[in-house]
Amino acid sequence: MANRKIFNFLEEGLEKVLKAQHSFRNSGKRTVTFRPFFASLAAREIESYSLWIENGGLVTRDYDPRHVCPGRVEVRMGGYDSGGMGSWPFELPCDLDIKSSMHEIWLASNSAFWDCVQDQSTRDLMAVGSKNQREKYRIFTKEVGDKYSGPEKRISVDLAEVEKMLKAASAEIWQEGKNLVDADITMRVRREGRHIVNSEGARIYYDSLRSMVGVSVEAIDAHGWVIQHGRNFFPDGMVRPEHYRAIVNLGEELREELAEIIASPLQKNGSYPAILDPENHGVLWHEMIGHALEGTSMKTETGQNGQKEDKVSLFLGKLGRKVAPEFISVDDDPTIKRLDGYYPYDDEGARAQRVRLIERGVLRDYLHSRESAGFFRTNSNGHARSEQSKDPVARMSNLIVRSSNEVPLDQLKENLLRICAEQNEPYGLIFEGSAGGLTIPERSHFETYPSKIFRLYRNGKVEQVRGAYIVGTPYQIIRNIVQTSNQYGVFRGECGAQSGWVPSTQEAPHALVNSLEINQFPETKYQQFRKLVVKK
């Protein structure tokens, strides 16, 4: 449930910062006054527990049995259409002592106030004589100040017993070095209670609770390279001692898969027809399209030095135009409770909304924070997200890819072989499992990292290969997607960007791609394992 003390601190701080003002007489002997037209304060009550276990032994344990409370003050001056902004982080004491807490908020509010004065003054100066004054200011949307209190969530498990279980699981997976250098298990459990108030009347509280176990194994290949293979286990709710067998089974499966991987040949660079499984297909859309549709990255931003900062122009000005195959539709939907990107309100207090980004291949919308929405003359669609006390920007949540050109997976493989024959290629590639990816949207470049790669030869033979990753540019890939399966899957993870790390999910079917560019990892990517000369 909401912490009343935290809300009291935030509301008292909000009242004080809204009353703050500073006046002075300029060189023309005119009185200039700076006062906020908008302010918001937010704090998160965080409980977290993390473990790192290696070969049955505990390496690190990080547990805060009470909480940390990072927060943020935001102040805006000028006006919704011609404003400046200042923000400042703070951290409340763990015991929520009243005097100490209000002191931290007071210091942060004062710093945010003066940061805003500086930002507003600089933007006013840059706007003088400018042909496009609108680009010089921060434009901020007016939104409804909702009041919301979500259900309480708690870490309700004996964490000491979970630690004991995970140590035993790691030891069983490792089996004292049987074909493995290491068998690692990491666990993260995190609860965040978000408290948000602002001058428009918003008073938002909700809890989020997420737990995850990462299992990874390492072995040595014929080159003496250390090869790692891993996957994450996401329980339905909390990690519990009864998950022992599921985690061990995952580890044993990874151990067997790793033995097959290190015995496989390296895949050469090149372009190949391919099938992406749901994880790889979903990650592909996240990296190549999702980030380029985040409104914050597309708005023209003038820094305090007067220079325009890099923006992502890949889909700028293309609303209503075809940007993808007509059988593809893409939504980003933070309201889906079963997926990790769920939240009822974003970190600016705007109600979360499902956004239809692409409809039958046509670009329909962007993801917006209140600032990016202001720049594009629309309203926030509830996608401002951040880690702890960072400034929120437009981010993805649950990216959902749907297709109207579906066939069974077996038929998709037959179609892959047909494309191989048409292109006179000896084989196509099939990608299974994903370790994520990265993107440089302003350069229209992305990379994704498949966990397993298979060659499917024209005679039906299947051969596993390794050591390669997917590269390309968005339009290059988009135009080559020709069909999907009717089987959908989910990739769960975290996305790192300008405003920090946030949970995100992608849901998609398999995809058949006419041509996909593959790069081989350089040798420098691998850790070299030295010859064993010391006996155990």
Residue in 467, 473, 463, 429 with CA at minimum distance from that of residue 451: 467
Residue in 140, 156, 144 with CA at minimum distance from that of residue 79: 140
- pLDDT, residue 535, reads 78
pLDDT digits (tens, 9 = 90+) for 295-321: 998 876 655 444 556 677 788 899 999
pLDDT digits (tens, 9 = 90+) for 389-411: 999 999 999 999 999 999 999 99
pLDDT digits (tens, 9 = 90+) for 246-271: 999 999 999 999 999 999 999 999 99
Do 513 and 276 form a contact (C-beta atoms < 8 A)?
yes
- Split at pLDDT 50, 70, 90, the class of 178 is low
pLDDT digits (tens, 9 = 90+) for 107-129: 999 999 999 999 999 998 888 87
- As given in the structure block, the two tokens for residue 335 are 């309201």
Specify the amino acid at residue 175.
Q
Do 370 and 393 form a contact (C-beta atoms < 8 A)?
no
Residue indicated by tokens 């286990």? 233
Q: How many residues does the chain have?
A: 536
Return the HEC string of 516-529: EEEEECCHHHCEEC
Contacts of 339 (CB under 8 A, 6+ apart): 398, 490, 492, 505, 507
pTM score, two decimals?
0.93
Q: For residues 229 and 215, give the distance between their C-alpha atoms in angstroms, rounded to a whole number.
A: 9
Q: Where are the domains of the chain?
A: 4-262, 270-297+314-523
- pLDDT, residue 455, reads 98
Of 219-223, 242-246, 444-448, where does the model show the most confidence?
A: 242-246
pLDDT digits (tens, 9 = 90+) for 485-530: 999 999 999 998 889 999 999 999 999 999 999 999 998 888 888 8
| CATH class of the region 4-262 | alpha beta
- pLDDT, residue 310, reads 62
Specify the amino acid at residue 385.
R
Containing 458, the helix (H) or strand (E) segment is none
Coil/strand/helix, residue 92: strand
The yes-or-no verdict on residue 182 having pLDDT over 70 is yes
- pLDDT, residue 307, reads 53
The yes-or-no verdict on residue 440 having pLDDT over 90 is no
- pLDDT, residue 180, reads 84
Give the mean pLDDT of the chain. 93
Segment among 29-33, 230-234, 368-372 with least mean pLDDT: 29-33
CA 206 vs CA 42, 87, 343, 344: distances in Å: 12, 22, 8, 8
The yes-or-no verdict on residue 424 having pLDDT over 70 is yes
CA 163 vs CA 215, 224, 311: distances in Å: 14, 33, 45
